[in-house]
Every structure is written in C-alpha cells, then in structure tokens.
Amino acid sequence: MATFDLNDDSVVCIIGSGAGGGTLGNELAQKGIKVVILEAGGRYEIPDFVNDEWASFGQLAWKGMRTTSGTWRVAHDFPNLPAWIVKAVGGSTVHWAGASLRFQPHEFKARSTYGAIAGANLADWPITLAEMEPWYAKAEDKMGTTGTNGIPRLPGNNNYKVLEAGARKLGYKEVHTGNMSINSQPRDGRGACQQIGFCFQGCKSGGKWSTLYTEIPKGEATGNLEVRPNAMALHIEHNAQGKVTGVVYVDAAGKQQRQKARVVAVAGNSLESPRLLLNSQSAKYPQGLANSSGQVGRNYMRHTTGSVYAVFDRPVHMYRGTTMAGIVRDEARNDPKRGFVGGYELETLSIGLPFMAAFLDPGAWGRSFTSAIDGYANMAGLWIVGEDMPREQNRVTLDPKVKDANGMPVASVHFDDHANDEKMRNHAYRQGAAIYDAVGAVRSFPTPPYPSTHNLGTNRMSANARDGVVNKWGQTHDIKNLFVSDGSQFTSGAACNPTLTIVALSIRQADAIAGMMGRKEI
Amino acid sequence: MRKVDARAKVSRRVFLQGSAAAMPAVAAGVSIDAASAWAQDAKNLSPNTMATLARMARDIYPHDRLADVYYVKAVAGYDDKAGQDVAFRKLVETGVAQLDASAQQRHKCPYLLVAWETDRVALLQGVEQGALFKKLHGDLLVTLYNNKEVWPKFGYEGSSADKGGYISRGFNDIDWLPQV
C-alpha cells in the first residue's frame, strides 16, 4: 500500500471515500495517477459490522453536531440529526441499500421539462442521458447491478411479495425486485446475497457493492492510492493565482496536517462538501471557494420521501432479507395531471424494532403508537423516493455559533418543503396505502421522512457559471484544479436513488481529470 | 411460514449478570410496586420515585404483551444516574413530585395508585412538555425497545448474519397472499 509525503504536490487529494470519492480514487489510481483520500471516519471492515441498529449507528453514522431550521419535520423531530449518513471509509456506500437506477431523459432537463415553477430554482443539467449512458453502463458493470449485464434479479422476500401483490391488484405494471448492486450470484470476487437483512448496517456477506471492499482495495493494490482514515479536512488552501494547493486536516492524533496537492476533489456528501468550501474562505475568496455564483450550499435537495407501513392480520416478517427488496416504477413518470411535476418510486423498506420505535411517528406515545408497534411482525413497508424541487433558500450554511471539536463551524441545514413536494408526498402516501389495502391491510401509517439519506445539490452543475458551482465535469467554474465529486453536483434530484449516478459521474470525471492533467491544463 | 417464539426464555446468564439494560438484580416476576424489593433496593431515588418511573414508562408505551419487569429494567439506570448527577436527580424528583401533586388534586392519591390507565394518561398529558416526561419518553426508545429480551415478543429476530441470514430461514415464506 502506498504512502505519500505531505509535501508531495503531485497528488490528487480527494476528501471523502464514498460512492464519489472512493470511485474517483480507484479510477485515477488505475490510470497511474497518485491519489491521497482523506476520510473523516475510521476504517471498519466487514467483520466489524454488527447486526444491531443502535450499535451500528454508534459505529458508522456521522454523529457530529449539525443544526437545522425550516418547516421540514426533521428539524422538529431530529434537530441535530438532519442526515443519516456514514462517517467511515466507504462513506454511505457502507450503509446504502443498493438501489441503482438510471435517470430518465427528462430528469436531466428539469427546467425545460417542468417550466418555471414559482419558488423553485430549477435548471437543466449541462449533460444529457445520451451522454451519460456509456458511463451508466460502466457503473452498472463495476457494481454488478442486477437486471443489467445479464445479471439475474434477486429473489423477492416477504416484504416484496406483499408490495408486488398489492401493486398488481392496483394495476401497476413495472413491479420487480429492482436494479440492485447486490450480487444475486457470485461476482467480482464477492459472494451472493444471503438475505441477511441489515443492509443499512454494513453488509456482512459483502454481496452488496461498497467502495470499502471494491474500489478502495483495488486502488490500493495499484500502489497509487493511499486512504487516510480519521483525517478531518478543515480547509482547502490556494496560492496567489487562486489555484488550490492543498488541504489542511486534523489527523487521528488530533494534530493539524497539510497535504499538498496538484488537484483537490471534494466528495464529503452534500452537507460536508459545501461546509468545507465555505469554511475555506480567504481574502481572495471571501465567500468561500468556488462561490462567485453564491450557489455553494444552496439548492439543497433530499428527495420527497416518507414511508408507508401497513399492518395485516397475519405475519409478514418484513425484516427478513434485503432491506430494499423491490420497486414500483409506474409513478416515476412526469405526469402533471396528478397535480405535481416529476415523479416518485415506491421501494420496499424495512427497519428493525428499535428503529421502528424511533421513526414510525417520532414524539408519539400511548396506545395508538404502541398498538402499531404491537403489529410489527405483521407489518409491510415501503419508502417513497420522489423528485423534490431545488430552492435557493434550502441551503447549507456555516452555523454562526456552533463549532465542532476542531473549532470548525458546523453545518446548518435549512429546508422548507415546496408545495410540489407536499402534493407528491400526499399522492404517494395514498398510493402506498392503496397497495396495502388491496391485499387486506387492517391499518396503515403515513410515516414522516427520516433524517435525510439522499443529500443532493449543494454544489450544483450548470452550463453557466452564474447558475451553479461546477461545470459538466464537476470542475468548479472558478478554480480549474478544484473538483466536486459527490451528489452535491446534482442539478436536479430525479425520482431515483442517487448512487449509480454519482458513481457514473465519478468514472467520467476520472477520465476528464486524467485528460486535463495529461494536457497540463491543471 | 416460520413464526417467532415469543415465550420468555430466562437464561442462566440473565440470572447471573442481569440484562444489558444494566439493572443488577431485576429477576423475572417483579411488579411495579414501591414496596417490592427492586424499588426498595434503589440507592439514590426513593422507592416511590422508582415505582412511579416504571409506571410512567408503562403508561407512555403500554404493551400488554410485556410484563412489568421490562419497564422496571427500562428505568433502572435512572437510580445510578441520579447518584452521579445532582441536576438529573433533581429533574427526576421534581417531575415525580409534580405528577403526584396533580394526581392528589384530581384523584386524592399519588400517581402510582390512580387505578385507570386513562386517568393516568390524562395526568401525563399535563406534564408532557416537562423535562422529566421528555427525558423518559426519549430514553425509553432505547432502554425499552433496544432490550434484546423484548424483541421476540414483537416477532423481531435481531441479529441474522451469525445464523446464516434468512436465505434458508424464511425470507420468502409468506403463505397467505392472494394469488394475482
């Protein structure tokens, strides 16, 4: 395994090791480019994972202080936990459920498709689906996505069978066990899914793709990649010409270090990436790095989510097997006749008893609540993943008062649901309940959104430097050798889980960075 | 389909070490009663306070399938915490005193002796914005629902990787769905 000198200014320094950073690191290393990944969290391997929701949360989740404001219910229920994401090597690919969906063509063209929506800051991506298709194909091959590359889909578990039966009774057509980056058969040196459940707690079989045990060790094997865990980036430095020169971080021993770099790529998820750029303000860049547009931190999206759990008169045991075990895609289309633009997916979801108690209806107590929990064994559940509207005032800022242990201002997250989001969520709640009613549910629960797992848009891509932070390569408009490599690049959220698109963008970005380095442009 | 055995299983380890919820000597068969041994054994809080906390716990999250012992275990840690943290001890004692005062006013007896759950719930609604209720309500999500002993009673099987997952243990064994 390589180690690079702190003063080696020929390296690409990537902040974050998840779907964006971990993939970019490996792709660059495979091309012979030297890479240092700074990862804020520790390194936990498969044997370290625990099938225990709270214990795993303690091990893997980003638990550092954050603050919230706005009318979203998360700010009330979980004021200091706006997001449920991972702080560990592998980032949120340790915790993700594996759903790997491509955008629909119109979802890259949100502004031209949906038009001007009041209170929304819609824009088109500077790229199209046609342009992304070859990169999606590479990502699906890399991740072993079921339903692509001749890979069979996973078998459906109990939770899926309930969803499928209800959805078919309702007349839904596109219902299947999903395009999942979970091995349905051994592939790429990893075994097949054992239907363990606990996908959110780190996959104990390694059947689910995660950069932790795919991209990162492959990159390390080249001798071109060093991953430094417990390395919390504080700010990015630049020279008099305005080009970035390195990253100051706090190491595992609590000591400040400076890694010099030829190129810096930020991939800390959509809360931490803008936080880092904003915290890197200087005399030359008083509003933070790459922020001449004022868009860093803005247009925060988190998908229009929510869950529907339903209780039946007989057992389901939804927690057995994959957490996200199947999907209904019929509502993902854009059909403004429903009263909203954009669409949503319905995907099965299950959580264990401890998290069900915490998330079913936060704050509730008494028999209405406990009788629902009493039905746990007879419960089925689904999650809504809908496109939400980017809004300028939905944003990540540096908290003016609260600082972390290193003295760095924490991320403050403001979010107000757009009327379109609320109409979509209510439509999805009704359709979700109808699916379960169709197969005999005795009671259903429109469960509010959890702390956000899909955090998007806070350093968005734009054709014009006025409207966003990065160009079509994820390169910041303002600083040629500074890149963004995570979901914060997203111009729109689309009605699908974001990881596949993040990975596809990273593979594509690695090609672009290698080309620019080869041509001495950066 | 394979169902989960919800019967109480008392292992030797439980007798020797107590539960993971850290109560040294709560055996099966305890009840929510200030005169019972577990309440009398508290070192820092009064027996009435301990029993009231357990009764509040049951009234906040009432599950008829759970014996009192699980609620007693869920609040047991408060005694130790009260010994280490003066402010916490005051929060608990003040909260219980307020609840007892309103019970006396409405029912001429302390909270513990109010006979109907409905009446006790009405008293809790009067204090649900108070510090003790908020603390207890939040803590119980972990101390009650994260006690592995209660999981089988809700049909939840807990850790699965150590048993080979569910691939051969009923991940798709649902047998009552209508044919579509």
- Examine residue B153 and state whether it is found in any structural domain, yes or no: yes
Identity of residue B101: A
- B171 to A198: CB separation less than 8 angstroms, yes or no: no
pLDDT band at B27 (very low <50, low <70, confident <90, very high): low
| pLDDT value at residue B17 | 45
Q: Which residues of B touch A161 (CB under 8 A)?
A: 172, 174, 177
Query: For B79-134, how does the pLDDT look when each residue is reduced to its tens digit (9 = 90+)?
Result: 999 999 999 999 999 999 999 999 999 999 999 999 999 999 999 999 999 999 99
- Examine residue B87 and state whether it is found in any structural domain, yes or no: yes
| pLDDT value at residue B179 | 74
Q: Which residues of A touch B164 (CB under 8 A)?
A: 194
- Examine residue B173 and state whether it is found in any structural domain, yes or no: no
Mean predicted lDDT score pLDDT of chain B: 91
User: Residue B25 pLDDT > 90, yes or no?
Assistant: no
> Containing H/E element for A26?
helix A19-30
Question: Which range of residues forms the domain containing residue B127?
Answer: 31-158
**Mean pLDDT of the A49-64 span:** 98
Could you tell me which residue, A1 or A267, shows the higher pLDDT? A267
Structure tokens at A239: 């020279």
Q: In percent, how much of chain A has pLDDT > 70?
A: 100
- A317 to B180: CB separation less than 8 angstroms, yes or no: no
User: Residue A213 pLDDT > 50, yes or no?
Assistant: yes
**Mean pLDDT of the A33-50 span:** 98
Q: In percent, how much of chain A has pLDDT > 90?
A: 100
- Examine residue B115 and state whether it is found in any structural domain, yes or no: yes
Structure tokens at B90: 């005051």
- B167 to A197: CB separation less than 8 angstroms, yes or no: no
User: Residue A307 pLDDT > 60, yes or no?
Assistant: yes
pLDDT band at B11 (very low <50, low <70, confident <90, very high): low
User: Residue B69 pLDDT > 50, yes or no?
Assistant: yes
- Examine residue B167 and state whether it is found in any structural domain, yes or no: no
Identity of residue B83: G
Contact residues, A window 187-216, toward B, CB-based 8 Å cutoff = 193-198, 204-205
**Mean pLDDT of the A406-429 span:** 98
**Mean pLDDT of the A450-472 span:** 98
Tell me if residue A492 falls in helix, strand or coil.
coil
Candidate from A196, A367, A378 with C-beta closest to B161: A196
Contact (CB, 8 A) for B114 and B120? yes
Nearest CA in chain B to A156: B172
| pLDDT value at residue B28 | 60
| pLDDT value at residue B8 | 75
Q: Which residues of B touch A201 (CB under 8 A)?
A: none
**Mean pLDDT of the A217-238 span:** 98
| Number of domains chain B contains | 1
- A157 to B121: CB separation less than 8 angstroms, yes or no: no
Cβ neighbours of A75 (radius 10 Å): 18
DSSP assignment, residue A190? B
| pLDDT value at residue B26 | 59
Contact residues, A window 158-177, toward B, CB-based 8 Å cutoff = 158, 161-162, 164-165, 168-169
A316 touches chain B (CB under 8 A): yes
Give me the total of CB pairs closer than 8 Å, taking one residue from chain A and one from chain B. Answer: 134
| pLDDT value at residue B20 | 46
- Examine residue B10 and state whether it is found in any structural domain, yes or no: no
A46 touches chain B (CB under 8 A): no
| pLDDT value at residue B19 | 45
- A320 to B60: CB separation less than 8 angstroms, yes or no: no
- A50 to B159: CB separation less than 8 angstroms, yes or no: yes
pLDDT band at A177 (very low <50, low <70, confident <90, very high): very high
Cα of first residue to Cα of last residue in chain A, in angstroms, is: 26
Cα A165 to Cα A96, A439, B176, distances in angstroms: 26, 7, 11
Candidate from A204, A365, A367 with C-beta closest to B161: A204
Q: Which residues of A touch B128 (CB under 8 A)?
A: 365
Candidate from A195, A198, A377 with C-beta closest to B167: A195
Nearest CA in chain A to B165: A196
- Examine residue B11 and state whether it is found in any structural domain, yes or no: no
- A161 to B172: CB separation less than 8 angstroms, yes or no: yes
Optimal mutation site among A172, A173, A195, A324, interface B, most CBs of chain B within 10 A? A195
| pLDDT value at residue B22 | 47
- A321 to B171: CB separation less than 8 angstroms, yes or no: yes
Identity of residue A464: N
Query: For B34-56, how does the pLDDT look when each residue is reduced to its tens digit (9 = 90+)?
Result: 999 999 999 999 999 999 999 99
- Distance between CA atoms of A341 and A337, rounded to whole angstroms? 9
User: Residue A443 pLDDT > 90, yes or no?
Assistant: yes
- Examine residue B26 and state whether it is found in any structural domain, yes or no: no
Contact (CB, 8 A) for A304 and A456? no
pTM (2 d.p.):
0.96
Query: For A90-108, how does the pLDDT look when each residue is reduced to its tens digit (9 = 90+)?
Result: 999 999 999 999 999 999 9
Candidate from A49, A194, A367 with C-beta closest to B167: A194
